[in-house]
Amino acid sequence: MTDILIRKDGRAGLITLNRPQALNALTWDMCLAIETALDDWSRDPQVALILIDGAGERAFCAGGDIADMYASGQRGDFSYGQRFWRDEYRLNRKIHDYPKPIVTFLHGFTMGGGVGIGCHASHRIVCEGSKIAMPECSIGLVPDVGGSLLLARAPGYLGTYLGLTGDRMDAGDAIHAGFADHYIPAQYWEALKSILTTTGNVAAIKAGPAPDSRLKDWQGVIDAAFCAPDLAMIRAQLATGGALADHALPLLDYNAPLAMAVAARIIAAVRQDPQIKTALDHEFRYTFRCAAQGDFIEGIRAAIIDRDRSPRWQPYSDDDITAMTAPLGKDALIWEDAT
């Protein structure tokens, strides 16, 4: 069984992530295959739009396949992850800037690398079972794949909250936060895909009203706490208690402190220049260095290797934040090389 199904039908280019047993986790080869298809279809007059979905019932895409990054990091080979992220980020930018409509069907889990594939599209559809998150800080990473742009554009300081806690959004939350556009119950999806494939016209997307959003209800208290300039002050604001604090503090307590501190700084920087290149450039400064720093490798160990969910994070200082966010010079992303 191939990991990705790429074909044309009618007026559409169709991409199905096809690793349901792995929650359609994204591999390096899948990234390259998607990029090749998008490049070809951008020049194909028969293709009016792109549809991207995921096989199985549980996930659109639950993230990147990080097991190989752990293995290479254990060997001291940090170049593997660096090369993977260069290619993945180039794909994320292409999806964001694509000249034709891209419609994504975000059922079940859409997390991490899945957000990079699904949530930069022009038309993002969610249903009653959608669960969207940027949980990277829980494995010692920062919200990446251009996710810091989505977080920076979220209402108020909701993006800082989502980036630091990794909290999961349902359909109503995702639409409120700007990670999705349209709510359509899953029972209507196949009929919609057929119409889109036949007509090539995104005007066929007829969405219902967005469900209520817990995060919208919490917006005021989120803004009051997560507008604070650093992690310590955010915690101090949450110390007053309440439903938000009860929900957020255990998430903050679990996640990697350095990753959260850097994530807050990245999101703040992208708010000042909310462009996809800016977001990816800032994210790559951290991801380029994260395997050597160590928390990322430890986070993978705790989450998917030993599965003890007891990561031992390293202490950090302001100097560490500065080191992980400094410009990369000759190692920075070079967008001019991308097609």
Maximal CA-CA distance, the chain: 59
* 108 is known as an active-site residue: no
User: Could you say which of 88, 144, 170, 181 is catalytic?
Assistant: 144
Question: pTM to 2 decimals?
Answer: 0.96
> Of residues 64, 73, 81, 112, which has the active-site annotation?
64
Q: What is the CATH number of the domain that holds 40?
A: 3.90.226.10
Mean pLDDT by 10 residues, the chain (339 residues): 93 98 95 97 97 98 87 85 95 98 98 97 98 98 98 98 98 98 97 98 94 96 94 92 94 97 97 97 97 94 94 96 96 72
pLDDT number for residue 336: 64
Catalytic residue among 136, 173, 181, 281: 136
Supply the pLDDT for residue 61.
98
Task: Return the pLDDT at 70.
Answer: 85
Give the pLDDT confidence score for residue 339 in this predicted structure: 43
Number of domains in the chain: 1
- pLDDT score recorded for residue 338: 45
Catalytic, 73? Answer no
The active-site residue, picked from 113, 163, 166, 178, is: 113
Domain span holding position 17: 4-337
Q: Cβ neighbours of residue 132 under 8 Å, at least 6 residues apart?
A: 106, 110, 111, 115, 119, 126, 168, 169, 173, 174, 179, 180
The reported pLDDT for the residue numbered 66 is: 85
Element (DSSP H or E) covering residue 50: strand 49-54
> Phi and psi at residue 107, in whole multiples of 5°?
-90, 155
Q: Is 68 a catalytic residue?
A: no
- Catalytic residue at 113? yes
